[in-house]
Structure 1
Amino acid sequence: MTTYLLAGGGTAGHVNPLLATADRIRERHPDATVLVIGTREGLEARLVPERGYELLTVARLPFPRRLGRAAVRFPVALRDAVADTRQMIRDRGVDVVVGFGGYASAPAYLAAWREKVPLVVHEANAKPGIANRLGSRITKYVGVAFSSTRLAHATLVGMPLRSEVERLDRRAERAAAIAYFDLDPSKPTLLVTGGSSGARHINETVSNAIALILGAGWQVVHIAGEKSQITDPGLAGYRLLPYCNRMELAIAVADLAVSRAGSATVSEFSAIGVPAVYIPYPVGNGEQRFNAKDAVAAGGALLVSDAEFTPDWVLQSLVPLLQDRALIAEMAARVTGVGVLDGADRMVDLVDRAVAETPVTATTEEPASTDASEHSNDTGHPDDPEHPHDTER
């Protein structure tokens, strides 16, 4: 019986692919033991036990971005976290460590390397974070969600998707989606979403330009986020929601989407064949712009900066697109070509291969240090309502 230790957390962008992979491992290997290591503060503290997995915890260990007390304490804190994780690996008889980035991953990667346990890494963003850049240097089993991701030993596996999205039959669910959102079955639907926390600028632009969009003959499902201050004008064909717990139905009914470009959002839309106008989150290291790169290059999406996305842009660019149904259909076909629907299976295939090829040859030298200035996706921005850590749902 194999024991898997899945590491990651802090944000839904790390937790959701972890859980999708854990579920697929459990489906394929019912006798296996699946453990998760994360922090007490991250989203995993709630989501992992809710899904029925045991959560082991280590101290939250953000990588210091500047000199100061945190930088001085970091080496000792990292050493202690690695030691704690090594003990967990020994005590629980872990056969393989699978990491998804986030605070808990770097100690888990180093612990697996020290214990000579096979290590598998999954990178969800096109621009890798520091923990996964570290992990990719000490294992050859590295799965990435996007073909444009530059990471050592990268293998394209796609994003492990939530089962309700992975198994979505758009044609079969369209009627249910139309009924759920109270839509007109004769009109095309624009889906607008900025994530579970919303995207203020997207919300404001769409709200101010809603008459233009409706006037183009479309209806709109606008998921504005629970903290949104947007008010519903009560226009026919406009559905304003603070939150959507049936996101698969929103995807099923969407003919085009306007969205942030978080990795899960881009992966889900591409896998299902939803063309999109992506407005990357304008703060941070710009990873969202890279997430949309493959879809845009394939002709299945448009990329618009946050500053450019205004009511005037809607009038000059979005409305003409909405009126060209043939182009939107072509975009849908093109984006499907870069989407990966079986990311969970591909990821578990990679994990199974790592286990089968045990013992993995471990390097005898310490992994090369990583430039802190490149640190990108592993800390999140918990105080920022538009950061893609909400995954974007």
Structure 2
Amino acid sequence: MRTKEDVINQGPCVVVAGGGTAGHIEPALALADAVMRARPDARVVALGTQRGLEGKIVPARGYPLEFIPPVPMPRKPTMDLLKLPLNVRRAIKHTRAVLDRVGADVVVGFGGYVALPAYLAARGRTPIVVHEANARAGLANKVGARYAERVAAAVPDSGLPDAEIIGIPLRASITDLDRQALRDEARRFFRLHPHAPTLLVFGGSQGAQTINNAVAPLASEFAKAGIGVLHAHGPKNSVAVQQIPGAPPYVPVPYLERMDLAYAAADAVLCRSGAMTVAEVSAVGLPAVFVPLPIGNGEQSLNGRPVVTAGGALMVNDDELTPDKVKELLIPLLSNPRRLSAMGSAAQSTGHRAAADVLAKMVLDVVGK
């Protein structure tokens, strides 16, 4: 635990709790970057578990990572439900020790099974700030909001009372992206046609079989229409596509390491509508066809709805996405530059490029109290 002298001589220690999935980790790291821009003397420490993606993502971004026991919430009555109170107590004790050791001045949670023990460990001891990215708040953030100094949300009506609507914190490589300036470099990077209208297709970090099955059979149709395709099919999947000599190429890749270049190369996108995806696509001004993942409480449909309402996107149910539907929607869209431009402007009007800096100010204001 830090002494009074440490507090005087060091900047604030911000602990971010957003492990598990990229949808929790990326906003946490975007906030971390914004905190460091605002207060270069600050320290940011991330909480995570051994089973989440944070073990790879967080250290690669230069932030220390402290592991805590996960507290998964069983969806059905099982033996795990009986073990829940013991698991929660163990996680709180471990997390509280971490907060004391690093000298936490504030805990910022982004939901999920890493945030819940962080909120309960910090309650009454360390100020809490909550950020909800989804259209419907999960259990962890509903608990955290009860004890928080400030609550932020991406969209209205998330279920968290008195939440301040700020959007989703995004990394600077997305918010500062100049698609037009990077277009030539991006097309060369992916070996795409330099001038042809281009569709970007992805289904999250693991791909999406429904999307793959609906798009890959249309490779020759896209080629005949003069449309290029960049298709991230997922590392565990593969697609076979028919290339037509002389036509804009259809480029399948397992994973997109450079999402900034993928966005810069594209004229439209076909993708899921997770909260982070919707926020990024909107921020960079890409017209989209969203295919919500048909699980959970329908939050992916809710995430994309504001962009659809604004005219920046279309939405197709997962069970309705067929090659015929893709052909019907996307070939006419990509062949209409005026419509692409109008949809891109509409999408960008719904985005919140400054969300990371706004949240960082909220967090530092709480520390300042």
TM-score normalised by L of structure 2: 0.91
Are the counterparts in 2 of residues 226 and 242 from structure 1 also a CA contact under 8 Å? yes
Q: Give the direction of change, closer, same or farther, for the CA distance of 1:213–1:339 in structure 2 (3 Å limit).
A: same
Change (3 A) 1:323 1:33: closer
| Mapped contact 2:290–2:314 kept (Cα < 8 A) | yes
Aligned to 1:176: 185
How much does 1:276 deviate?
Answer: 0.1
Identity %: 43
Q: Which of 327, 330, 333 matches 2:342?
A: 330
Residues 113-163 of structure 1, C-alpha deviations (whole Å, 9 max, x = no match): 231x21111112222211011112222412222345332221122222122
Cα displacement string for residues 40-60 of structure 1 (whole angstroms, at most 9, x for unaligned residues)? 221112222232322222211
Q: Residue 213 and residue 350 in structure 1: after superposition, are their counterparts in 2 closer, same or farther (change >3 A)?
A: same
Give the AA of the match of 1:312.
D
Report what 2:360 is aligned to.
348
Asked if 1:79 is matched to 2:93, the reply is: no
Residue 361 of structure 1 is matched in structure 2 by none
Give the structure with the larger helix fraction: 2
1:96 aligns with 2:106: yes
Change (3 A) 1:317 1:89: closer
Q: Which of 256, 259, 270 matches 1:258? A: 270
**Whole-Å Cα distance in 1 between the matches of residues 157 and 194 of structure 2?**
37
| 1:209 Cα offset (Å) | 2.1
> Unpaired runs of 5+ in structure 1?
359-393
Query: Given the alignment of the two structures, is residue 290 of structure 1 paired with residue 302 of structure 2, yes or no?
Result: yes
Instruction: Decide which of 149, 153, 162 is 1:153's aligned counterpart.
Output: 162
SS in 2 for 1:114: coil
Residues 150 and 217 (structure 1), Cα distance of their counterparts in 2 relative to 1, 3 Å cut = farther
Greater relative contact order (CA < 8 Å, ≥ 6 in sequence): 1
* 2:67 aligned residue: 57
* Equivalences, count: 356
* Whole-angstrom distance in 2 between the partners of 1:272 and 1:2: 32
The structure 1 segments of at least 4 consecutive aligned residues displaced by more than 6 Å after TM superposition are none
CA offset at residue 248 of structure 1? 0.6
Root mean square deviation of aligned Cα: 1.7
Note if contact 2:219-2:243 (Cα within 8 Å) is conserved in structure 1.
no
Contact 1:223 1:241 in 2 (8 A): yes
In the alignment, the residues of structure 1 paired with residue 182 and residue 19 of structure 2 have an alpha-carbon distance, to the nearest angstrom, of 32
DSSP 3-state at the match of 1:222? strand
8 Å contact kept, 1:148–1:293: no
| Deviation larger for 299-308 or 346-355 | 346-355
Q: Distance in 1 between matches of 2:87 and 2:238?
A: 41
Residue identity in the other structure for 1:174: R
Asked if structure 1 preserves the Cα contact closer than 8 Å seen for 2:18 and 2:111, the reply is yes
The separation in 2 between residues aligned to 1:317 and 1:52, in whole angstroms, is 42
* Cα deviation, residue 294, structure 1: 1.2
Alpha carbons 1:147, 1:294 under 8 Å: kept: no
Give distance in 2, aligned partners of 1:78 and 1:139. Answer: 19
What TM-score comes out, normalization by structure 1 length?
A: 0.86
Q: Secondary structure at the match of 1:6?
A: strand
What amino acid does structure 2 have at the position aligned with 1:226? P
Q: Which moved more, 1:275-284 or 1:235-244?
A: 235-244
- SS of the counterpart of 1:240? strand
Matched, 1:278 2:290: yes
**d(CA) in 1 for partners of 2:219, 2:156:** 35
Whether 1:311 and 2:320 are equivalent positions in the alignment is no
Is 2:333 the counterpart of 1:321?
Answer: yes
Q: Which amino acid in structure 1 is aligned with residue 275 of structure 2?
A: S
Q: Distance in 2 between matches of 1:80 and 1:241?
A: 42
* Map of 2:151 onto structure 1: 142
Cα distance in 1 for partners of 2:225, 2:286 equals 19
Corresponding residue for residue 41 of structure 2: 31
